[in-house]
Structure 1
């Protein structure tokens, strides 16, 4: 028996245990410090917001430093003269009744996005099963326990080439229906489909997929249609023309004009003219996008930038940048620094005077369109860099709906008071899983949501 060897091993074990105890004590000490720093960081963020607001309102003597270091005067009186629409709280009228529950709308797969067509009759959902579903959700309001299941069964299922992560119905001339729906997919493709309900019932859903006209290979369009290098982040239609914008993680935005010829049951042939009229290229993914000024302006946010990019479609796509730091460049508003990414953009109803932004730092922002002016900051939810926040306006423009990554709910903010007035959750018939997308009708108090509980819900206002 090697007694000395055994004693040596015992000493090593004792030493290792003691070292482990010291390390554990150090870990606890550092954990406490981390929590303290996180708390300090949140306090500093709040203080920064206060300083920004004071600066915009002239609380810092109305002066700032220009880029050359010289003092620059800010016209505070002009700011005070701006008309403020969010002085009084909302009327308390907004959708909070989950009148329609469409379970397993994509079978065993998760629905990932949703939209409602211009006359509120069709609900479009895109799913992880690589399909685009068109559902006449109103059928679920019929009497009987099976009405919802029948609405799901009767839905038109259009096959796509990859999981569908964004969807948008065409709107032309301030809401007039153009029977085309666009679906952006994980493989970088954009599927265009006919969404009119006048086709023969025997028509196969795959035949609703629209293809470019024969021989149409100009400006990036081939026999397969619109295709990006990476997955499609968002798609949106101009409200005044059949013009589709699609944005991708490859940093490109494509604007495609789609033929607006007759599309009907008699003349439908599955082919339309498609022409890419402009491609815009960035160094980073395009995270969010929307049309403004009745389609004359395209607004984009590119990851890693501290501004929104406005492109004037009537002036050769001239770009104008508006800071996200609460003030123009050179007015002391932290220059190019940015501590968040914008993942959703949504213009307000009735002309889009304001723009709502959902960020990945538990903060939603209301900005005045076409300016650097931040009107409201909305808190009370949680979204971080791993989340995919979505937002939508109420039809009155007084409330904002938004998702939260740690709750299976839709938060409802009263914009005037910047406070959450309602959470549409499981307690009042809401979702039992994370809400993936929200869409609010342009014409009525109708809101659609889809969730990882594999259902879609249509929310109506209490009568």
Structure 2
């Protein structure tokens, strides 16, 4: 399948690729090791050329279709609304921007957090989104009226690193922190439903299994913990195999496959019938450290991987990969995909947001 998509591959010098250097360094007194680790992820060597992959004869391509300056600081998270009409981005400037996606333009901003934003997620069924921050809070917002948050959840004793909405229960949201604690919250009641100490180390990212909601995958250090979607208790032994800390996890849209990303490898795990957590495939880093990934919204077996300045396109079935160089001028910190529009979004430490299709 991959060869059918990418029969032609050409490169050219990108004369206009030089953007303002990534000179912002967030300096705060009293940062703990987790904060410092979160901030210092872009010490890699840049690439020099831009590779553009496409097969015009098959009508398939993967190219930049829009870009904009998203912040005066590093951007580290993004997510599409379920209809693909909105995109949320957030990062070191302590606020989240909402964007209209067609065309790409700012719509509104969410500005109640007191420290950098770590994650942003839209509800799969309602006009809501939620944000997490190093300020130890989770906030829920109305996407149509972002002047103030609907709920502010406090209780985490450490920086909240990630969060997600339950795919089938619109009232429920889960969050995890840098001390290994997972909490679930009722949006309607404004209360904490469960509080479970799951990890020995701090959590990096968590994502509910789409559609089914049976599992909640949470990365901590070199393992992925598979939690019960209802109780948040571990329901099987952790998924092991990474030799370096896992940066991010993502599910395919059907909830059948889970991808996990460390700087030197991407691993695929199957959650199809009778294979709950079975290892399927691995892509090893060939020189440019991995950071994040997302399944392509139109081609389910194609994984888009964010690196430093480049994107890797990996067909997980055919086991072929190709590089799109100079996609950004800094670390690509997060990716998002919209099945409604077929677009992929990328955000980077270069302060830009880009759309691809």
Which consecutive unaligned segments of at least 5 residues does structure 1 have? 1-90, 141-150, 173-177, 200-204, 212-223, 260-272, 327-337
Q: Corresponding residue for 1:167?
A: 120
Q: Corresponding residue for 2:243?
A: 339
> Which structure 2 residues correspond to residues 209-220 of structure 1 after superposition, within 5 A?
209-211=149-151
Q: Corresponding residue for 1:237?
A: 165
Secondary structure in 2 matching 1:346: strand
Report Cα offsets for 1:126-159 as digits up to 9, x if no partner: 021111111113134xxxxxxxxxx24xx31111
Distance 1:310 1:382 in 2: 33
The structure in which a higher percent of residues are helix is 1
Kept after mapping to 2: 8 A contact 1:312/1:319: no
Distance 1:454 1:400 in 2: 23
Report Cα offsets for 1:61-92 as digits up to 9, x if no partner: xxxxxxxxxxxxxxxxxxxxxxxxxxxxxx97
Kept after mapping to 1: 8 A contact 2:225/2:234: no
- C-alpha displacement at 1:299, in angstroms? 2.3
**Residue 434 (1) aligns with residue 350 (2):** no
Kept after mapping to 1: 8 A contact 2:222/2:240: no
Distance 1:114 1:192 in 2: 15
Kept after mapping to 2: 8 A contact 1:95/1:447: no
Q: Measured at CA, do residues 383 and 311 of structure 1 come closer, stay the same or move farther in structure 2, by a change above 3 Å?
A: farther
> Which structure 2 residues correspond to residues 298-447 of structure 1 after superposition, within 5 A?
298-303=216-221, 305=223, 308-313=225-230, 317=232, 319-325=234-240, 339-349=243-253, 351-360=254-263, 362-369=264-271, 371-382=276-287, 389-395=291-297, 396-405=299-308, 408-421=309-322, 423-426=323-326, 430-447=327-344
Q: Give TM-score, length-normalised by structure 1.
A: 0.59
- C-alpha displacement at 1:372, in angstroms? 4.2
Secondary structure in 1 matching 2:102: helix
Report Cα offsets for 1:16-61 as digits up to 9, x if no partner: xxxxxxxxxxxxxxxxxxxxxxxxxxxxxxxxxxxxxxxxxxxxxx
Report Cα offsets for 1:341-381 as digits up to 9, x if no partner: 322121112x2111111123x11001112534211111244
- C-alpha displacement at 1:416, in angstroms? 1.5
> Which structure 2 residues correspond to residues 130-279 of structure 1 after superposition, within 5 A?
130-140=94-104, 151-152=105-106, 155-159=107-111, 160-172=113-125, 178-196=126-144, 199=145, 205=146, 207-211=147-151, 224-242=152-170, 243-259=172-188, 273-279=189-195
Q: Measured at CA, do residues 93 and 355 of structure 1 come closer, stay the same or move farther in structure 2, by a change above 3 Å?
A: farther
Q: Corresponding residue for 1:285?
A: 202
Q: Give TM-score, length-normalised by structure 2.
A: 0.75
Report Cα offsets for 1:289-347 as digits up to 9, x if no partner: 22126223222233355x5333252xx55532245347xxxxxxxxxxx6333221211
**Residue 455 (1) aligns with residue 352 (2):** yes
Q: Measured at CA, do residues 375 and 304 of structure 1 come closer, stay the same or move farther in structure 2, by a change above 3 Å?
A: closer
- C-alpha displacement at 1:94, in angstroms? 6.3
Distance 2:286 2:123 in 1: 32
Distance 2:283 2:247 in 1: 15
Kept after mapping to 2: 8 A contact 1:379/1:419: no
Secondary structure in 2 matching 1:390: strand
- C-alpha displacement at 1:171, in angstroms? 1.1
Q: Please give the root-mean-square deviation of Cα atoms over the aligned residues, in Å.
A: 2.4
> Which structure 2 residues correspond to residues 28-67 of structure 1 after superposition, within 5 A?
none
Distance 1:165 1:239 in 2: 20
Number of aligned positions between the proteins: 293
Kept after mapping to 1: 8 A contact 2:84/2:101: no
Distance 2:190 2:311 in 1: 37
Kept after mapping to 2: 8 A contact 1:359/1:383: no
Bigger-Rg structure (1/2): 1
The worse-fitting range, judged by mean Cα deviation, of 156-165 and 227-236 is 227-236
Distance 2:225 2:212 in 1: 18
Which consecutive unaligned segments of at least 5 residues does structure 2 have? 1-56
Q: Measured at CA, do residues 319 and 111 of structure 1 come closer, stay the same or move farther in structure 2, by a change above 3 Å?
A: closer
Kept after mapping to 2: 8 A contact 1:381/1:411: no
Q: Measured at CA, do residues 117 and 372 of structure 1 come closer, stay the same or move farther in structure 2, by a change above 3 Å?
A: closer
